[in-house]
Amino acid sequence: MIVLGLSGSLTHDPSAALLIDGELVAAAEEERFLRDKHAKNRWPYHAARFCLDFAGVNPDQIDYVAFPFAEIGFTHPGRLHFARRYWYAPDRALDALFNGNRHFRRNRRGILQLMADLGIDAGRSPFVPVEHHLAHASSAYHLSGFKGKCAILGIDGKGEYATTFFGYGENGVIHKIKEFYDPDSLGGVYGALTQFLGFEMLDGEFKVMGMAPYGDPEKYDFSRLWECDGRNFKVNTELVNVVGLRRYKDQRRGYYFSPKLIEWLGPKREGDEIDDPYIDYAASIQKLLEETSLKLVETYLGDILRESGRLCFAGGVALNVKLNQRLMALPYVKELFVQPAASDAGTAIGAATYVANARGEKIKKLKHVYLGPAYTTEQCLKAINEHPEKPQWKKIADVPKTGARILAEGNPMAWFQGRMEFGPRALGCRSILGDPSHRGVADRINAQIKYRERWRPFCPSMLDTVAAEILQTDHPAPYMTFAFTVAESWKKKIPEVVHEDGTARAQIVDRETNPLYYALLEELEKLRGVPVVLNTSLNRRGEPMICSPTDALNMFYGCDLEYLMLGDILVTKAVKE
């Protein structure tokens, strides 16, 4: 069975994923091809085209096209809840009651047109919609490889109407326990505060999380943002998750918070340099998110977790590694699987796995997320020869050894290898690397290449042979989805990847899934005694991760990087006189 999953249901992060006989063989995000971060209001044409071409699949071979947004019935509690809670905006409330599937109809028209553009006959390859949060749940549960019963958690801004999902999986079947509905959204409130703190919603939540350890979570009481007794959850729509006339507006732009939030907390943050009191606000919202999530998990999933010890997590909030660290610390959680593309891009995978499973396919465990395009040496040389900067280059016989030497000398290096990662994390194929034992390398990358705020952490990739010693746990961590407390003995060895609170968002590298990256780490260990690299995504600020050799060269000549390892070709900059 061949299932093509397509996402983009909520006007951002469109992607495509291809499932063949229960195995995920290709997946990519449209932004990487368009060079437009989040590719808002676009459909995943290039991503889908790549998936089909990579697998050698013709459009007429596709059995189903799965999509993570479904039609919601008139009596569904989500529609009624939305209408009741948005009573102050009667146009929105009435629309939910009497035109509550307008977004679904728009999505269906868009995907049917995309299918036609791709040459997929909708009569032969049916369009199959899947509820948004079921797609999130499937993306985590069906790819986790967990056997037996396990708990499933889904938290994001919103899907059709649901915002938060509690359930469990058993024998391949996903069971709902409880959902919360818009505007009662943990992710939505965190996103509104992200806007207040000066960042883009659906993009800057990582920055809020990075800012939080620098602040005092006890300095301000944010409990008025929502009510939660452990069973019920209700957002204060006088302050956040607001629509219509309640929104704060600035320069004709509406925000997801109200003027009353400004009256309470003061003006929203502007620019990169202002920290006080905003770092304390970040600490407060992070603490509130963690404590409320844990309280709800205890209520709705506690019994299942005590029975099974296994938890699957997806949705945009699943990328909050500090929350994940708290979940892992629960005494009854033995193993946590966070779908590595947990935000809406990953729903293409979830829709495909849900449809395939429902039709009797056994879904294979996710082994890695190196699921995008790869490029040959010949393609890299073609990009070099065509580039206007006339790059200076040479072929390298031993890529790991040469790369490790560059790093050991204190230099950052762009590392472009193999298949592009799916999801927001660079995992050793589209990365900027540094030696984390060299003090100042993170500042150098920030100042010359990434232009990131000072409080945003860089992450370590490390060999599996030392991970347990450094991270003080043997929990699997191949995808940078967890924060761990770094052992005291290692904090001084790798200072450039340890955050303000003593944690690191780590990737544990194994030889089987990325042998070249593993070899690079081994060579660096020989030179410096440190089997760890600083790893950040190969892109400049505000851009998507690099996809092609041409993208890599454009990025290289648009910043102060001096070394680019493009496959087995080392590109360097000519010395300026």
Catalytic residues: 12
| Residue 158 identity | K
Question: Dihedral of the CA atoms 283, 285, 286, 290 (nearest 10)?
Answer: 140
Distance CA 333, CA 315 (A): 19
Residues across the chain: 577
Nearest to 65 by CA among 145, 119, 11: 119
Distance (Å) of CA 468 to CA 141, 329, 460 = 25, 16, 14
Nearest to 172 by CA among 130, 136, 137: 137
For 377-432, the DSSP string reads HHHHHHHHHH-TT--EEEE-S-HHHHHHHHHHTT--EEEE-SSPBSSS---SSEEE
Distance CA 280, CA 398 (A): 48
Question: Phi/psi at 438 (nearest 5 deg)?
Answer: -90, 105
For 21-54, the DSSP string reads TTEEEEEEEHHHHHT-GGGTT---HHHHHHHHHH
Structure letter (DSSP) for residue 9: T
Nearest to 448 by CA among 413, 417, 415: 413
Count the helix, strand and coil residues of the chain and give each as a percent rounded to the nearest 5: 40, 20, 40
Residue 447 exposure: Cα atoms within 13 Å on the Cβ side: 5
